[in-house]
Structure 1
Amino acid sequence: MSATAPTSGPCPCGRTDRRDKPIAYAMCCGRHVEDFEHAPAPDAESLMRSRYTAFVLERGPYLLATWHPSKRPASIEFEPGVKWLGLDVRSRSVLDADHAEVEFVARQRSSTGAATRLHERSRFVREADGRWYYLDGDLQTPG
Structure 2
Amino acid sequence: MTAVTTCPCGLGEPYETCCGAFHSGLKSAPTAEALMRSRFAAFVVGDEAYLLATWHPTTRPKRVDFDPDQRWTGLEILERTGGGLLQNTGTVEFRAHYRWREQREVLHENSRFVREDGRWLYVSPS
Measured against the shorter chain, the TM-score band is: over 0.9
Written as runs of structure 1 = structure 2, the 5 A alignment for 1:109-128 is: 109-110=99-100, 112-127=101-116
**Large movers: runs of 4+ above 3 Å:** none
Q: 2:93: which partner in 1?
A: 103
Provide the residue aligned with 2:37 in structure 1. Answer: 49
Which structure: larger Rg?
A: 1
2:54 to 56, 66, 77: 66
1:25 is aligned, of 12, 15, 25, to: 15
Does 2:9 align with 1:13? yes
Could you say which structure has the higher strand fraction?
A: 2
- State the distance in 1 between where 2:114 and 2:93 align: 15
How many positions carry a matched residue from both structures?
A: 124
The letter of the residue matching 2:2 is: A
In structure 1, the residue corresponding to 2:28 is in which secondary structure?
coil
Alignment of 1:69-80 (within 5 A): 69-80=57-68
Q: TM-score, normalised by structure 2?
A: 0.92
Equivalent residue in structure 2 for 1:40, among 25, 28, 39: 28
Normalised by the length of structure 1, the TM-score is 0.82
Q: After superposition, give the CA deviation of every residue in 1:22-54 in whole Å (9 maximum; x if it has no partner).
A: 21112211100122xx42111100000000000
CA distance in 1, matches of 2:87, 2:73: 32
Cα offset for 1:58? 0.6
Tell me the percent identity.
44
Distance in 2, matches of 1:135 and 1:52, equals: 15
| Alignment partner of 1:3 is 2:5 | no
One-letter code of the match for 2:123? L
